[in-house]
Amino acid sequence: MKLGIRANGYQQRVLLAKGLSQKADITWLTAGGHDDTGSYNACFDFCYSSGPPVIGQTYAPVFVHAPVITADSMPENFVRMNTWPGFWENNGLEITGSEKIKEAAGLTLQALGWPFTWVPNQPGMISGRIVAMIINEAYFALQEGVSTQAEIDTAMKYGTNYPYGPFEWAEKIGLKEIYALLTSMGVGNNRYTIAPALQKAANEQ
């Protein structure tokens, strides 16, 4: 299987640790221009949400890191995935896309030995929405003086067995990413009102 992959250094290390180089012939794509992506069986763009895509014309599955924007405005062969830190390294991928690409996308991931789950085409998918809400609530608790960041992180890690506390996770993901997701989730729904402390911290980044 021939794969075209755009990834940062950390993501490349994770992929190689998963044994990807033994399962596929990899070409590492760069942001400098479009490669001949039509020659690949599938493409992965782990940097899609932070810059313009490097994927050219292809009818093969194109997996893109797009936790906030939905697939409605993407080509039909694009498959959304969430590869925020802590979401994909040792877990199955949450993916969503059009019905036309589901079979080919599923066969690609099965060939790579990566577990996956099809989820609704909504901002944050499932896990991202949950974690964003937890981080938001943590900022509400912080501004109300309930506890400190360190104490809230410790309580969440040991109380829920999450890999990171909410403030640790926010730092790894990036508060601007969390803010963008909560903003999208909050359109027409005040359930996702953003904590002023979170908004202030995101604006300061």
Long-range CB pairs of 18-23, under 8 A, 24+ apart, other chains included? 18/114, 20/112, 23/111, 23/112, 23/113
Q: Is residue 37 within 8 Å of 23, Cβ to Cβ?
A: no
Predicted pLDDT at 160: 84
Write out pLDDT tens, residues 98-144.
999 999 999 999 999 999 999 999 999 999 999 999 999 999 999 99
Q: Which residues contact 13 (CB under 8 A, 6 or more apart)?
A: none
- pTM for the whole structure: 0.88
Domains and CATH numbers, the chain: 2-118 (3.40.50.720), 127-204 (1.10.1040.50)
d(CA 166, CA 157): 9
Q: Tens of pLDDT along 37-63?
A: 568 899 999 988 755 555 655 678 999
Provide the residue type at 128 as one letter. G
Least confident interval from 11-25, 38-52, 60-74: 38-52
**Residue 126 has which token pair?**
């499932």
Write down the mean pLDDT value for the chain. Answer: 89
Burial class of 197 by CB neighbour count within 10 A (0 to 12, 13 to 18, 19+) = middle
For the chain, the C-alpha Rg in angstroms (whole number) is 18
96 φ/ψ angles, rounded to the nearest 5 degrees:
-155, 150
The C-alpha atoms of residue 46 and residue 27 are separated, in whole angstroms, by 14
Residue 53: what pLDDT?
Answer: 59
